[in-house]
Amino acid sequence: MTLPATGREWHLTARPRGWPTPADFALREAPVRAPGPGQVLVRNLYLSVDPYMRGRMNDVKSYVPPYGLDEPMDGGAVGIVVASEAEDLAPGDHVLHGLGWREYATLEARHATKVSAELAPLSTYLGVLGMTGLTAYAGLLEVASFAGGDAVFVSGAAGAVGSQVGQIARLKGASRVVGSAGSAEKVRLLTEEYGFDAAFNYKDGPVAEQLRRAAPDGIDVYFDNVGGEHLEAAIDSLKVHGRVAVCGMIAQYNATEPPAAPRNLALVIGKRLRIQGMLVRDHAALRPRFVEEVSGWIRSGELKYHETVVRGIENALDAFLGMLRGENVGKTIVHLDD
């Protein structure tokens, strides 16, 4: 086949201060490079936008290098191989890889994972069966040491990770599952579809008060996607020997001043709490068990998931900014034209 000469890709053009704006980005045409030995050329079909990407826009030392200015950004993507110089991948194969934010990607075949559209919809490999799903699974079961009978609180519970954490806790025998979200519609989703025992809109009043009402006997596990006031409230409600898995702190990703909360860290001592941060890449060994168990729950209908799908590479930035504002339900996916 004739390979395309150019494709579009998103570049970071300035370091955002506070909330990113469209002026910090540019959608540009770039040459499409034919694959060399051991490489494949992939036409992307689905792109992932995720909260962690906001941190990579800052030029600070972190667990992953920052995005370069006037260079293509990257992130999870699923696409179809259109040209291959690698033994294990052929044109027509679907693959999961890390060069998103663009229409075409040329990469080493060893950095691409073959996926099946017959086993699950391709978009799920970026969400419920992908990095976000494994984050939920590993964070709850391994990092927070969840055990049957635990009471669990999840912040950002209608998001891609949080919604799965709450459902896994329920399926694994939690005594109570409580979630917070940012709208009445999302609260209803948590209780009516995802099976949370209680949920509240954090905008309706102090989180600590709402959490005490939702979990009057306290909580054993807090899965933190938000930080700030939510973390302070959870520390207040955690029982002795409670555990916190810190996955994200979206409340302060765009802050320009240090957060005021949590102000009650001294309670960690008397309650003997364990607060542990997590990166999903540390838990790759769990993937086979995760895929087997979670795909079974999806097939049986026991685990529900939602995707917020935005169409077109030109709308990828709007999808990202909308996700940061909490406009998504479940995983945000950018669907490029098939």
CB 305 within 8 A of CB 163: yes
Element (H, E) at 6: strand 6-12
* pLDDT score for 130: 92
Give residue 307's region: left, alpha or beta (phi > 0; psi -120 to 50).
Answer: beta
* pLDDT score for 1: 67
* pLDDT score for 330: 86
- CB crowding 163-180: b at 16 or more within 10 Å, else e: bbbbbbbbebebebbbbb
- CB crowding 40-79: b at 16 or more within 10 Å, else e: bbbbbbbbbbbbbbbbbbeeeeeeeeebeeeebbbbbbbb
Residue 44 has φ and ψ, to the nearest 5°, of -70, 140
Q: Is 322 a residue whose pLDDT tops 90? A: yes
As a whole number, mean pLDDT of residues 311-320 equals: 98
* pLDDT score for 338: 64
CB 53 within 8 A of CB 73: yes
Q: Is 221 a residue whose pLDDT tops 90? A: yes
| Model confidence band, residue 133 (pLDDT cutoffs 50, 70, 90) | very high
As a whole number, mean pLDDT of residues 111-122 equals: 90
> Strand 77-84 vs strand 94-97: parallel, antiparallel, or unpaired?
antiparallel
Separation CA 141–CA 118 (nearest Å): 28
Q: Is 188 a residue whose pLDDT tops 70? A: yes
Q: Is 294 a residue whose pLDDT tops 90? A: yes
Q: All domains of the chain, ordered by start, with CATH? A: 6-127+307-335 (3.90.180.10), 131-281 (3.40.50.720)
As a whole number, mean pLDDT of residues 281-299 equals: 92
Comparison of pLDDT for 160 and 174, the residue scoring more = 174
Widest pairwise Cα distance in the chain = 67
* pLDDT score for 274: 98
Give the residue from 280, 249, 336 showing the smallest Cα distance to 135: 280
Per the prediction, the chain carries an average pLDDT of: 95
Separation CA 99–CA 83 (nearest Å): 16
> Strand 151-154 vs strand 176-181: parallel, antiparallel, or unpaired?
parallel
pLDDT in tens, 28-82: 999 999 999 999 999 999 999 998 999 999 998 888 899 999 999 999 999 999 9
Separation CA 94–CA 256 (nearest Å): 41
Q: Is 95 a residue whose pLDDT tops 90? A: yes
* pLDDT score for 261: 77
* Concatenated DSSP letters of 218-257: -EEEEEESS-THHHHHHHHHEEEEEEEEE---GGGTT-SS
As a whole number, mean pLDDT of residues 186-201 equals: 98
Residues of the chain with pLDDT > 90, as a percent, come to: 86
pLDDT in tens, 235-257: 999 999 999 999 988 777 776 77
Give the residue from 310, 323, 316, 312 showing the smallest Cα distance to 10: 316
As a whole number, mean pLDDT of residues 297-305 equals: 93
Cβ burial of 94 (10 Å; 0-12, 13-18, 19+) is buried
